[in-house]
Amino acid sequence: MIEQDIDSLAPGRVFDRRAFVRTSVGSGFAAAVLPVVAQTTIKTDTNGLTAGEVTIPVGDFKMPAYRAAPAGKANAPVVLVVSEIFGVHEHIADVARRFAKAGYFAVAPELFVRQGDAGSYGEISKLMAPLYVKASTIAPDSPIKAEADAIAARTSDPKTRAFLALQLVETKTRYFFIGMGEGGYVPAQADDTWARRFGDCKAKTALLLALLKNLGVEAEPVLVNLGGGDGINEFPPSLAAFNHVIVRVKIDGQSYWLDGTRTGDTNPQSMHAPNHKWGLPVRAEGATLEQIVEPQITVPTASTMIRLDASKGLEALAPARISITYSGVLATQARALLARTPRADFERGFRQQFTNPASGRTDVRWSTRRPTSRTTGRRSTARCIASPSPRAVWSPTPPPTSRASRPRARAVAKRCAASNATSPAASGVCCSHTPTSAHPLPHRRPPSPSTATSPTAACP
């Protein structure tokens, strides 16, 4: 009832994207450039300028634009201000006014107004579909076909084929984004990406689609939002809601998700549903938003275990071991991060995280490895990690000082090795060994080992 009363105060009008653009060129800020505050926003006035919205005849179509020029100056040099995909908002209009202040005739056309009325996600899906069809079409003599044939010769299983295609794109092409011109939303040709061996998420997606098509695997691109996907279903449809694209493969009714921008995937389990929450399939007939359901976790995705040995008293240095265990989704992300980050950089970060000069913790060592039943040296402790693969264990440890734990460590390690040798696959249990070391103990009683929370199972 209230909406009807409000509508009665103004004449009726059709509110679609084109009408909105025509009446709002140069007003407001794009959500992607927020936060914007009065203290930091540059505002160029129109004193001495002729500025405002105009229309430019293009055949029988009138394109809206924002123009700014020195008042009374004829034959000023022309500058074309090209906006990003967010359109001609206040910042673009202000840039045009700055050029006008410098003596130029600046024009900022609304380049995307003819791309259709993207009033629904179905229309957005339709608009993007031809771009990926074109980009994933390869030449008859393309070397990509040879790569697909090599994968096909190795296996006939579609899931394995999809994973091998993902590994090929991850290992043979680097991630590099060029956002100039059409680079923000038009994918590069798959043949070009393979030739230069780099590309962004759109280019890698097109390359994956080309490989999968030649392998006979059903696949489609899906637009997602990295870090902000939760809740986009509650907002008005917009192409600006997406900042990433991945590939969905369907095999026997099951969906598998491939992201060519990642690195370090070593197991087909990495093709699980990502945590983007929502995705928009790109199809010629259009599609609606679909919820991406993540796999139910059965073990903690991240756990930190800190063990302190205060048996020598509260004033003495306490041998300590800190283990961070990642499982499932986080383990996949951890491996990808480790694969593309130099070890020295990671070691520096770990030392900064666990070093505390004020308390005397100044020498911290670390290691990253899969759990193993082999000890790392004579001075070692042993602990069994009971969590399913894939997983990654990071153990930052200071230098070894204690001899008391050696006999027990060797005995536990021997039992762990025997247990793993008996049925490692069935039990899913492996042993992880790292050197013990000394941390100064804070002046409070440490948690009892019997009551400490532990998401992992200790060896018998």
Q: Number of structural domains, the chain?
A: 3
Global pTM reads: 0.55
DSSP 237: P
What confidence score (pLDDT) does residue 326 get? Answer: 83
What confidence score (pLDDT) does residue 32 get? Answer: 44
> Token pair of 26, please?
């140069």
The beta-strand segments (E) located in 148-200 are: 174-175, 198-199
Residues 98 and 144 in one domain: no
What confidence score (pLDDT) does residue 116 get? Answer: 55
pLDDT tens readout for residues 191-236: 999 999 999 999 999 999 999 999 999 999 999 998 888 888 888 8
What confidence score (pLDDT) does residue 427 get? Answer: 34
13: in domain: yes
Residues 349 and 433 in one domain: yes
* Residue in the structure block whose two tokens are 């020295």: 344
pLDDT band at 284 (very low <50, low <70, confident <90, very high): very high
pLDDT band at 289 (very low <50, low <70, confident <90, very high): very high
What confidence score (pLDDT) does residue 19 get? Answer: 45
- Position 421 pLDDT exceeds 60: no
Assign residue 189 the CATH number of its domain: 3.10.620.30
Q: Which residues contact 135 (CB under 8 A, 6 or more apart)?
A: 186, 187, 188, 189, 190, 202, 203, 206, 209
Worst-scoring range by mean pLDDT, 3-17, 233-247, 324-338, 353-367?
3-17
115: in domain: no
Q: Which residues contact 348 (CB under 8 A, 6 or more apart)?
A: none
Residues 272 and 136 in one domain: yes
- Position 76 pLDDT exceeds 90: yes
Residues 263 and 306 in one domain: no
Highest mean pLDDT among 268-272, 422-426, 444-448: 268-272
What confidence score (pLDDT) does residue 268 get? Answer: 87
Residues 245 and 318 in one domain: no
- Position 332 pLDDT exceeds 70: yes
pLDDT tens readout for residues 112-144: 776 655 568 998 999 899 999 999 999 999 999
Q: Measured between alpha carbons, how far is 382 from 433 in angstroms, rounded to an integer?
A: 5
> Token pair of 131, please?
């771009």
What confidence score (pLDDT) does residue 184 get? Answer: 80
What confidence score (pLDDT) does residue 6 get? Answer: 41
Burial of 300 (0-12, 13-18, 19+ CB in 10 A): middle
125: in domain: yes
Residues 102 and 131 in one domain: no
Kindly state the helix (H) or strand (E) to which residue 284 belongs, with its residue range: none
Residues 176 and 278 in one domain: yes
Assign residue 21 the CATH number of its domain: 3.40.50.1820
What confidence score (pLDDT) does residue 48 get? Answer: 94
> What one-character-per-residue DSSP string does 203-227 give?
HHHHHHHHHHHHTT--EEEEEE-TT
Residues 322 and 407 in one domain: yes
Worst-scoring range by mean pLDDT, 82-96, 162-176, 333-347?
333-347
**Which residue range(s) make up the domain with 239?**
121-291
Q: How much is the mean pLDDT over the chain?
A: 74
Percent residues over pLDDT 90 in the chain: 38
458: in domain: no
What confidence score (pLDDT) does residue 387 get? Answer: 32
> Three-state SS string across 305-328, please?
EEEECCCCCCCCEEEEEEEEEEEH
pLDDT band at 356 (very low <50, low <70, confident <90, very high): low
What confidence score (pLDDT) does residue 34 get? Answer: 44
Q: Measured between alpha carbons, how far is 412 from 444 in angstroms, rounded to an integer?
A: 29
pLDDT tens readout for residues 422-443: 443 333 333 333 333 333 333 3
pLDDT band at 308 (very low <50, low <70, confident <90, very high): confident
* Residue 261 contacts residue 175 (beta carbons within 8 Å): yes
262: in domain: yes
Where among 291, 326, 361 does a domain terminate? 291
> What one-character-per-residue DSSP string does 26-64 give?
T-S--GGG----TTT------TTEEEEEEEEEETTEEEE
432: three-class secondary structure by DSSP: strand
pLDDT tens readout for residues 59-75: 888 889 999 999 988 89
Phi-psi region of 41 (alpha: psi -120 to 50; beta: other; left: phi over 0): beta
Residues 132 and 244 in one domain: yes
Residues 269 and 126 in one domain: yes
Residues 143 and 277 in one domain: yes
> Which is more confident, 138 or 42?
138
353: in domain: yes
114: in domain: no
Going by C-alpha positions, the residue among 310, 324, 458 that lies closest to residue 397 is 324
Q: Measured between alpha carbons, how far is 197 from 191 in angstroms, rounded to an integer?
A: 10
The beta-strand segments (E) located in 328-380 are: 368-369
456: in domain: no
What confidence score (pLDDT) does residue 367 get? Answer: 52
> Which is more confident, 152 or 294?
152
Residues 149 and 270 in one domain: yes
Residue 65 has phi, psi (to 5 degrees) of -155, 165
